[in-house]
Amino acid sequence: MELIELEYWQLALASILVLALAACSWLIQLNFGKPLIIAAIRTTVQLSIIGLVLEALFSTGALGWVALMGIAMVFLAGREVMMRQRRRLKGGWAFGIGTSAMFVSAFTVALMTLLLVIRPDPWFTPQYAIPLLGMLLGNTMNGIALSLDRLTDTVWRQREDIEGRLMLGQGWQDAISDIRREAMRSGMIPTINMMAAAGIVSLPGMMTGQILAGSPPALAVKYQILLMFTIAAGTGFGTMLAVTVGSYRLFDQRQRLRTDRITAPKQ
């Protein structure tokens, strides 16, 4: 099947839908028109730039440039994790915990998938490594952001109950055990929903893209199943690591709850 090229004027036609939605938001005072327009502009600019970067990266295929691209993606994802939290840990801890958890989980899962499952030659072939890492980071980022946001916000709201449990002699792990579990579950809910609905409610993005590009549907399904499994593993391990380290940061060495380490909610 011949690949259908898209012209810029066709993308401009699609943008009319976003402008119409922003106009409706303004008319009924939903107040998401401006953020929607800004997000649409960011999407256009960022994807255009990354398209040029990937073309240059694919042409060179050097390990150093692939590694540099991956590290940059991790740091940018860490910033997004920090910005998506209503309350977050002070002193750069929100950025550090989110970035470290994504680095450990997403990089490890991506490396194992490239070396043991897909096995391109060389193993760091950018056409495989960068898209795989990008999809892993995107989903892991959402899971970690949701779990850390649930953790800090719930601890803040239930701080009196937690302090009461500490006064009764419970350790800090027991005092917030339920909160930690709920935070981890909240981080995994989008991934579990995505997996449960795949093929029934929706056709996932990678599978759709491969089919549009002319790949056989059976091959696209195999890659999508592989991606679903890797996303689940990366998000799950990243969420557990982030909540564990974030919980530890909320208490001092004397097992006192330190709500002064949590910022005020963003307005």
What local confidence, expressed as pLDDT, does residue 188 receive? 94
What local confidence, expressed as pLDDT, does residue 58 receive? 86
What local confidence, expressed as pLDDT, does residue 41 receive? 94
What local confidence, expressed as pLDDT, does residue 91 receive? 83
Beta bridge partners of 202: 198
- Report yes or no: 82 and 113 within 8 Å, Cβ to Cβ: no
Q: How many CA atoms lie within 13 A of 186 on its CB side?
A: 19
What local confidence, expressed as pLDDT, does residue 241 receive? 95
The kind and range of the H/E element at 193 are: helix 177-197
What local confidence, expressed as pLDDT, does residue 39 receive? 92
The token pair at 151 is: 């953790």
Token pair 């940059």 is at which residue?
72
Sequence spans of domains, the chain: 1-60, 62-261
The token pair at 189 is: 């809910």
Whole-angstrom CA distances from 93 to 88, 107, 189, 241 are 8, 20, 24, 14
Say what the pTM is: 0.84
Token pair 């009924």 is at which residue?
28
Query: Mean pLDDT in each 10-residue stretch from start to end of the chain (267 residues)?
Result: 76 92 90 90 91 88 90 91 86 90 92 93 91 91 94 93 91 92 94 85 71 79 89 94 94 89 76
